[in-house]
């Protein structure tokens, strides 16, 4: 899995987490087209512990892929019902205000 942490203008964390094999793909379904890029999700592998830490502390998280979604569910950050799917790939967003 990949993890990249960005800082917003308000110094809040915006995090991208995805399964490594999805980087470089564009997922299309109906009017939805999502490009999964290394510019947002990074290209450096992250440990499960690093991802759990981001799930606990980050303000805005976007995640794509079965492995990272399963980890987020097992960690209690999301539930399966909150996930959406595009081309059969699960994704979720967490926004903390």
pTM: 0.91
Q: Are the C-beta atoms of 60 and 94 separated by less than 8 Å?
A: yes
Q: Are the C-beta atoms of 18 and 68 separated by less than 8 Å?
A: yes
- pLDDT of residue 25 exceeding 90, the answer is yes
What does the alpha-carbon distance between residue 94 and residue 77 come to, in Å, rounded to a whole number? 8
Give the pLDDT band (50/70/90) at residue 61. very high
Domains along the chain? Answer: 2-95 (3.30.1860.10)
Q: What is the pLDDT of residue 8?
A: 79
What does the alpha-carbon distance between residue 71 and residue 90 come to, in Å, rounded to a whole number? 12
What does the alpha-carbon distance between residue 7 and residue 34 come to, in Å, rounded to a whole number? 22
Q: Are the C-beta atoms of 13 and 58 separated by less than 8 Å?
A: yes
């Amino acid at each position: 899995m990949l993890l990249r942490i960005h800082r917003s203008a308000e110094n809040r964390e915006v995090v991208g987490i995805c399964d490594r094999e999805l980087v470089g793909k564009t997922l299309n379904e109906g009017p939805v087209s999502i490009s999964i890029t290394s510019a947002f999700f990074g290209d450096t592998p992250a440990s499960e512990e690093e991802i759990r830490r981001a799930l606990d502390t980050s303000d805005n998280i976007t995640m794509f892929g079965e492995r990272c979604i399963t980890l987020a569910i097992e960690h209690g950050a999301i539930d399966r019902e909150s996930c959406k799917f595009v081309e059969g790939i699960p994704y979720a967003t967490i926004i903390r205000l």
